[in-house]
A and B are shown apart, each in its own frame.
Chain A
Amino acid sequence: MTPSDSFINRRDFLTKTLATAGAGLVLGAPSILRAANTAEGDQLKIALVGMGKQGRVLFESMSNIPGLHFQAVCDIWDYNLKSGVAKVRALQGHTPKGYADIDEMLASEKGLDAAIISTPDFWHAPHTVQCLAAGLHVYCEKMMSNTIEGARSMVHAAEKSGKLCQIGHQRRSNPRYRFVHDQLINGNKICGQIVNMNAQWNRAVNSSQDISFNKKLTIKDDILNKYGYADMNHFMNWRAFRALSGGPISDLGAHQIDIFNWFMGGPPKSVFASGGNDYFTKREHFDNVMAIFDYDTPQGGARAFYQVLTTTSSGGGFWESFMGTQGNIKISEIASNTKIYREDSAPSWDTLVERGILNKGTAAAPPPPSADAVASYASAPAEIFELPGGFNKPAHQPHLENFFAAVRGKGKLTCDARHAFESEAPIFWVNPSALQRQPIQFTAEHLSV
């Protein structure tokens, strides 16, 4: 590929812009806005590594970000590869080079700035280390790896290479989460002393079934074996296998346990977990896991309870809750699940409302205890508040924007590999604790890089 292939020249740009503007009159504004992305100059040249479901989610988010040029796409599955190439072509009017093998891609492609890695968990570390060594900045999906050694290798590689490595805990760049962390929990300390945290990701059985595939699209065994898969089921449902993934606590729980550790300012001192194969009895990983983390904070002790259930959506899906002596913040990536509650005994938050830090809640307060309850046992109902705003972008977009801004030297990563490791390290010990049915007291050996 020559540089002229990579860029659209001025004439092409004008032609394409005019054509796109015409189409935009019919199809709407986004086409016009996307045409502007193809301007020459300050473009970052990107390789997309892994174009499965999560790769497509990231690509859709990146399609809203100006100044990116998707130069190469890599996926071992021809179906994903062709789909990824087509999506890029539709977005930027240029056909990227497609590769089945990352070694070939890195050897052939010149001038790449960054790689977006969304391969299965057990490939995260090798792919990240490889791309960093090739001089690319890396955005890698969480969980960093299926093993703590793999995660460590990513930190070492990032620091050795001097390149940026952002881990895909996208809540770290979410304006609502950042605001809660900075302004509500730390700045104005509206929770008072946080004494407990709860979080859950409860997913219905139907959403947790094995992923099926069209037999005609089966990858040849020698290719599957080359890339660490025993067969096509292994490839499609890698999340269910111990050698390839950390299971639900890693796949779903990592996002939320990361929030515990981020908001508490450090890792827990222990974990005690329990898990079982309650419904998906043949799976290697537990289908339901519960974990209790103990924290020491400057304000005192606190515990966090986390559950991931892949067998029921009961309990309101996924959210994190920070419970303090003066208030409770329940937050979720789904904005409508976010609510803030002031304890009846806490000082008034009227000043915070006047300053614009909180909005008065619109939801009705819980009714007072009814006749069938013992009034003296009940607490006064909490007053409900809401965040003062939200954001209208795909969930992953702010995190990717942060990554590209940092690559351009215009910002600092919100979740670099070292910070991600410090937050993820306790998660690696949940499954061992559940398997051993023993609490694990963390030492430097457990948590250090």
Chain B
Amino acid sequence: MSLESTCSSSNKLALTFGSLLIRIWLGTRALQTGIEKYAGSKTSESLVTIDGTPNEYGLTAAGAAKQYGMEFYHGVPQALMSKFQAEPLMLKWALPLYDKILGPMLILLGITILLGIASRCSLFILGLLYISLTWGLILIKQDEGVSWLGIHMILVVMGLALAEYNRFAILRKW
């Protein structure tokens, strides 16, 4: 018995909204996480003002402003990278490759999920990506992160389960 056959038309609308919300959530999550991998901060020095005017001594204060740019790219955070490198089960050749593709991959999947381009395949690949991240976090005993990704996986599976109600999609095939 299909889900659709048991649902009233009003419930179908709810399931369609549910599918859309999960797509928006997972798509936004993936897209912004990917973009944040290009984020960094640039410090700047400016003269300290005393009585409202720049001081004559040359005293400066440093300010940091968040910026985005290719030069800031970091797929795997540096703090985790060194831990991964120390893991005997980690494939040393694969780590730099993974580091390079993680950000672009998240951005690409975020876009395809948000726009509804091959949603099922996109969600499946996103699920695989989260599994890969989970494996890395298991290696370095980051149990909280594993749990966190587990929640993501539940949402991915829910998105796939509701694929039948997927509307507002550019490419519904796949």
- A175 contact set on B, CB distance < 8 A: 57-59
Beta-carbon nearest neighbor of B53 in chain A: A356
Total A-B Cβ pairs within 8 A: 42
- A391 contact set on B, CB distance < 8 A: 58-60
Tell me whether B45 is interfacial, beta carbon within 8 Å: yes
Tell me whether A179 is interfacial, beta carbon within 8 Å: yes
Q: Is the CB of A389 within 8 A of B60?
A: yes
Mask, B17-59, CB within 8 Å of A = 1, is: 0000000000000000000000000000101111110010111
Q: Is the CB of B61 within 8 A of A388?
A: yes
A269: min CB distance to chain B, Å = 31
Chain A stretch 162-219: residues in CB contact (< 8 A) with chain B: 175-176, 178-179, 182-183
Tell me whether A144 is interfacial, beta carbon within 8 Å: no
CA–CA, A175 and B45, complex, Å = 14
Mask, A377-396, CB within 8 Å of B = 1, is: 00000000001111110000
Tell me whether B62 is interfacial, beta carbon within 8 Å: yes
Q: Which one of B48, B52, B58, B62 lies within 8 Å of A388 (CB-CB)? A: B48
- B59 contact set on A, CB distance < 8 A: 175-176, 179, 387-391
CA–CA, A390 and B43, complex, Å = 14
CA–CA, A285 and B55, complex, Å = 43
Beta-carbon nearest neighbor of B60 in chain A: A389
* Total B residues in contact with A, Cβ cutoff 8 Å: 14
- B50 contact set on A, CB distance < 8 A: 183, 355-357, 388
Q: Which one of B55, B61, B62 lies within 8 Å of A179 (CB-CB)? A: B55
CA–CA, A179 and B50, complex, Å = 11
Tell me whether A84 is interfacial, beta carbon within 8 Å: no
Q: Is the CB of B49 within 8 A of A178?
A: no
Beta-carbon nearest neighbor of A182 in chain B: B57
Q: Which one of B45, B48, B55 lies within 8 Å of A392 (CB-CB)? A: B45
CA–CA, A175 and B58, complex, Å = 6
Beta-carbon nearest neighbor of B46 in chain A: A389
Q: Is the CB of A178 within 8 A of B57?
A: yes
CA–CA, A37 and B155, complex, Å = 59
Given contacts A175-B59, A176-B59, are A389 and B51 in contact (CB under 8 A)? no
CA–CA, A182 and B57, complex, Å = 10
- B55 contact set on A, CB distance < 8 A: 179, 356, 388-389
- B48 contact set on A, CB distance < 8 A: 356, 388-389
CA–CA, A390 and B55, complex, Å = 11
Tell me whether A246 is interfacial, beta carbon within 8 Å: no
- B47 contact set on A, CB distance < 8 A: 389
- A179 contact set on B, CB distance < 8 A: 55, 57, 59
Tell me whether A275 is interfacial, beta carbon within 8 Å: no
Residues in B lying within 8 Å of A, measured CB to CB? 45, 47-52, 55, 57-62
Known: A356-B52, A356-B55, A392-B60. 15 other contacts (CB 8 A): A175-B58, A176-B59, A178-B57, A179-B55, A355-B50, A356-B50, A387-B59, A388-B48, A388-B50, A388-B59, A389-B47, A389-B61, A392-B45, A392-B62, A398-B58
Write 20 A-B pairs (CB below 8 A) sorted by A numbering: A175-B59, A176-B59, A178-B57, A182-B57, A183-B50, A356-B48, A356-B49, A356-B50, A356-B51, A356-B52, A356-B55, A388-B50, A389-B59, A389-B60, A390-B60, A390-B61, A391-B58, A392-B45, A392-B60, A392-B62
